[in-house]
């Protein structure tokens, strides 16, 4: 069974804004899926549809086989959600907040306390756990929000901009925790983010959405193949014999574009045979950021 499934999913808000247009995709268990797209693309709307906070206008979605619109309690039992702004109880301590949510999910009191303790430790919130949330910083709240989403041992985690509003250090902390959890627990992660470098570090697959439409989905290699047909070959050489087809990009730097890495050995042999001294050879594949800009509107405009 797929962890998450969207079939021709569309959502038009009252008032007429069509935020999601005919999106189909599926996630296998254990995937860390990066859902990327500019502001207003429809990412949050999709997460809300997957959590039963909104109902589709057309099409369907499923979370581990359950329909969030019809069986929200089944979906909530197997999933956790972290939204941009963590809302919890300011007049309760960190520990009390977690126990409250654990008991909502029906965990017995001693198990709730045990899980809360363990998660507070994992999220490095042990010191603050008995202080009321009113005194917590945004970064601490965001980490607690992640702990809350994990309190009932979900199989799927929806993360909508989990580091929004955090300073670089807190963002890095939250990112590290998500990465460790994704690697160690086998949980399926559906991550909406604008942090493309970070997404490239942790995601196994991506979907790019713009104006409600899914532009592309796949692994980094699949997206590369779809967007860029060529690889940049960079060579550092004492001298470059003429006629090799390289342009000079720095004092000892030369660059050309090739179709596949298989061309490299022959190119290196030809340069060496013609008397060029090679210090370094690097084939540069486009990264997620380049792919994103090639596929989304700002990038398409820039290329025109």
Binding of residue 16 to ligand ATP (CB under 6 A): no
Examine residue 81 and tell whether it contacts ligand ATP (CB under 6 A). no
> In angstroms, rounded to a whole number, what is the distance separating the alpha carbons of residues 246 and 244?
6
Residue 94 or 162 having the CB closest to ligand ATP: 162
Among 10, 25, 32, 45, binds ligand ATP (CB under 6 A): 45
Q: Indicate whether 173 belongs to the interface with ligand ATP (CB under 6 A).
A: no
- Binding footprint of Mg ion on the chain (CB under 5 A): 43-44
Picking from 160, 156, 167, 161, the residue whose alpha carbon sits closest to that of residue 80 is 156
Segment contacting ligand ATP by CB under 6 A, of 36-44, 103-111, 132-140, 141-149: 36-44
Nearer to Mg ion, 47 or 156 (CB): 47
- The reply on whether position 41 binds ligand ATP by CB under 6 A is yes
What's the closest the beta carbon of residue 85 comes to ligand ATP, in angstroms? Answer: 11
Nearer to Mg ion, 44 or 142 (CB): 44
Choice between 43 and 62, CB closer to Mg ion: 43
Pick what 152 binds: Mg ion, ligand ATP, none; C-beta below 5 to 8 Å, kind-dependent.
none
19 binds, among Mg ion, ligand ATP, none (CB under 5 to 8 A by kind): ligand ATP
Q: Which of 34, 37, 68, 162 binds ligand ATP (CB under 6 A)?
A: 37
Residues of this chain that interact with ligand ATP (CB under 6 A) are 13, 15, 17, 19, 37, 39-45
């Amino acid at each position: 069974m797929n962890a998450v499934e969207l079939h021709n999913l569309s959502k038009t808000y009252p008032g007429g804004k069509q935020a999601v247009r005919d999106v189909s995709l599926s996630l296998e268990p254990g995937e860390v899926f990066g859902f990327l797209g500019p502001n207003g693309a429809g990412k949050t709307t999709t997460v809300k549809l997957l959590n039963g906070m909104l109902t589709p206008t057309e099409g369907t979605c499923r979370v581990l086989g359950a329909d969030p619109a019809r069986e929200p309690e089944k979906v909530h039992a197997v999933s956790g959600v972290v939204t941009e702004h963590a809302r919890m109880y300011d007049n309760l301590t960190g520990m009390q907040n977690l126990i409250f949510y654990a008991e909502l999910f029906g965990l017995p009191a001693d198990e709730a306390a045990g899980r809360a303790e363990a998660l507070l430790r994992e999220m490095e919130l042990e010191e603050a756990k008995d202080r009321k949330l009113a005194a917590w910083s945004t970064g601490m709240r965001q980490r607690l929000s992640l702990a809350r989403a994990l309190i009932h041992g979900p199989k799927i985690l929806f993360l909508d901009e989990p580091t929004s509003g955090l300073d670089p250090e807190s963002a890095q902390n939250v990112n590290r925790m998500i990465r460790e959890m994704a690697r160690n627990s086998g949980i399926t992660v559906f991550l909406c983010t604008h942090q493309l470098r970070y997404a490239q570090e942790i995601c196994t697959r991506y979907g790019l959405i713009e104006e409600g439409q899914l532009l592309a989905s796949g692994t980094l290699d699949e997206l590369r193949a779809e967007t860029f047909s060529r690889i940049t070959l960079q060579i550092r050489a004492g001298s470059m014999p003429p006629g090799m087809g390289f342009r000079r990009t720095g004092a000892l730097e030369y660059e050309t574009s090739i179709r596949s890495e298989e061309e490299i050995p022959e190119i290196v042999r030809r340069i060496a045979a013609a008397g060029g001294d090679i210090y370094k050879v690097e084939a540069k594949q486009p990264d997620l950021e380049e792919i994103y800009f090639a596929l989304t509107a700002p990038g398409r405009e820039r290329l025109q």
